[in-house]
Structure 1
């Protein structure tokens, strides 16, 4: 499994979409819009610059994780998964390795937007808070990695790409990664709190503020992880039966 994981990591590093969608896009968006906000507190004592930094870090992280996970649709069509099944590598190990690689694609986004926040607005959190934000937001991408795999195993490449985009955009906007949930109507705010995107960003916001994750936030992420795991397993079994 370690050899296959190294192989997938090399493929990930060479993928230009990683830099374009998960690093360059969020950093440019942060550089543009963070200068337009006020200096007031937006979340748990964080100023607008720091809060937007975390939101866009989550935005880039989710984008990368979903793109990498959904790429298995193309691999399945190309016959790559069929070749893997005839190797000694157990199928579950292949799935786990792909999920791990998907989650690792979130790290550059969080790091890059964090560096942009430090350079442009002198966001200072302390080494411990930076590390906590990076680690917790990375761990919080697990449900999105499973969602990407479910899309990739369950749909054709022609359908996987638009479905991934719609899922990403909907979760990002409704989860408050681009617009603060405080600006939402009450009913939409309640919806946002039930979405994994908001809870992912909440991990970052609370880490940046020096606060521990909430049980409610972890519970929401755990529930979505279980649900997306079920979808991914079902989609994988169906893809195996077809292949």
Structure 2
């Protein structure tokens, strides 16, 4: 526990030193709220509530891309990153500290979006709904952190920034985060149940509004989580073999 606490303290201090990084991470979700949710769906209480959840999940995608994808790639290129991996305790303390930091970022990053929804839309959600929604967002960190870990360890570090820059937008689009959550037709609606983003989104929507998750989306989310966990583990072990053999 002392090792996990030390790693977590290190992550928090690193984030505090560069606060503008956090502001930059919130730029796209905030623009999405102001340009899509407020003018197009703001007058519909149900659609505005669910779409606010979508933009909060978009924040999760961006945070995971930056912290896990870019963070791991950056550590692979620096001597300090290699040294940290030789310390006692293995990868668990580092992973736990990153999850804690991601959860803090997700909760903090959702607050401005919720504020925009309260001021600029007819969104309705009780305090308990918001708490449950934030819990669902924290759970969503798991599959997307695994995805970005796999990318961060498996891909050339110089290419990771390109992939992690476009991956959140592609995942959000294919998962239906940029459309009305109640839409039942079109290309995105037919493809989205097979994308992990959709399953996570439906958990958030169910937490904050009157929405019943699709069984296929839930099954695929579970399958994706298992597959991504395996890929992340294999990528980590492969990179470890290359660096420390």
* TM interval, short-chain normalised: 0.7 to 0.9
State the SS of the aligned residue for 2:125.
coil
Q: Provide Cα deviations, 1:156-193, integer angstroms capped at 9, x if missing partner.
A: 321111111232221111111112362752x5423201
Counterparts of 1:130-149 in structure 2, within 5 Å, are 130-149=130-149
Give the SS at the match of 2:38.
coil
**Contact (CA 8 Å) 2:193, 2:199: kept in 1 or not?**
yes
Aligned to 2:81: 81
Give the deviation of 1:211 after TM superposition: 5.6
Equivalent of residue 18 in structure 1, options 8, 22, 40 = 22
User: Taking structure 2 as the reference length, what is the TM-score of the superposition?
Assistant: 0.85
- Equivalent residues of 1:49, 1:121 under 8 A apart: yes
Deviations 1:24-60 (A, max 9, x none): 331232123223225676xxxx533222211111111
Distance 1:103 1:192, change over 3 A: same
Q: Of residues 2, 7, 32 in structure 2, which corresponds to 1:4?
A: 7
Partner Cα distance (1:103, 1:56) in 2: 16
Distance 1:109 1:216, change over 3 A: farther
2:33 aligns with 30
Task: From the superposition, tell whether residues 101 and 148 of structure 1 become closer, same or farther in structure 2 (CA, over 3 Å).
Answer: farther
Q: How many pairs align?
A: 237
TM-score (norm 1): 0.86
Could you say what the CA RMSD is over the residues aligned between the two structures, in angstroms?
2.4
Q: Secondary structure at the match of 1:86?
A: coil
Gaps of 5+ in 1: none
Alignment of 1:40-119 (within 5 A): 47-70=46-69, 71-119=71-119
Q: How much has 1:110 moved relative to structure 2?
A: 2.4
Instruction: Name the one with the larger helix percent.
Output: 2
